[in-house]
């Protein structure tokens, strides 16, 4: 079984802008496990444990689904926490740009995988970049204030030109992600 998900990669300049934003937060004495920037991605669909022999058909279905979608642009912007800043469990950076294209892409991903036994999510899609996971409740007031002050954050814009089918390996120091297939938008084919 392979733990899998579908996501958008972030180019290195975007990662660097997220690192610049998160660096002061990481220095605070907050009960947060910060995600290394090279592991940050925009999840489109979490699939869970999948038999390895199904990966190829999943990649093919995704390729067919996104073959008619043109690339589009996004930009990290703003920040917040789920479920709320007062009761935070996940610290995130938001995205702006062509959100309609992003929603269309996410719906295509859902639609492609539903016939393969992966039902659509019950809750609405909320595009975000998880930068940290809260592991306690002490000293969160300072983090709440920092997130409120960071609402005007704007990261580096980037072009979305592919989706990635990832393998996720859970480790004691956090998950490790390995691309299984890179699926370009606007074409028919996958790459590794």
Catalytic residues: 41, 128
Name which of 109, 126, 132, 95 is nearest 14 in CA terms: 95
Residue 152 gets which letter from DSSP? G
Rounded Cα–Cα distance for residues 171 and 114 (Å): 29
DSSP string over 63-120:
HHHHTTPPPEEEEEEEEEEEE-STTEEEEEEEEEE-HHHHHHHHHHHHHHHGGGT-PP
Rounded Cα–Cα distance for residues 125 and 134 (Å): 21
Rounded Cα–Cα distance for residues 29 and 108 (Å): 41
Rounded Cα–Cα distance for residues 148 and 140 (Å): 12
C-alpha dihedral sign at 31, 37, 38, 40: positive
> Beta strand 88-97 with 176-184: parallel, antiparallel or unpaired?
unpaired
């Amino acid at each position: 079984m392979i733990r899998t998900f579908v996501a958008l990669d972030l180019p290195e300049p975007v990662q660097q802008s997220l690192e610049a934003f998160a660096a002061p937060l990481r220095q605070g004495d907050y009960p947060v496990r910060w995600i290394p920037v090279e592991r940050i991605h925009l999840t489109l669909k979490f699939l869970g444990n999948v038999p390895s022999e199904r990966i190829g058909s999943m990649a093919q279905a995704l390729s067919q689904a996104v073959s008619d979608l043109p690339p589009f642009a996004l930009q990290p912007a703003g920040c917040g926490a789920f479920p709320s800043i007062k009761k935070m469990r996940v610290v995130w950076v938001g995205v702006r740009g062509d959100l309609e294209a992003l929603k269309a892409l996410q719906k295509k991903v859902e639609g492609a995988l539903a016939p393969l036994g992966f039902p659509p999510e019950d809750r609405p899609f909320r595009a975000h970049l998880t930068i940290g996971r809260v592991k306690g409740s002490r000293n969160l007031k300072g983090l709440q204030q920092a997130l409120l002050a960071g609402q005007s954050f704007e990261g580096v814009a980037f072009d979305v030109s592919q989706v990635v089918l990832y393998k996720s390996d859970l480790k004691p120091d956090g998950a490790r992600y390995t691309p299984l297939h890179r699926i370009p938008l606007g074409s028919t084919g996958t790459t590794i």
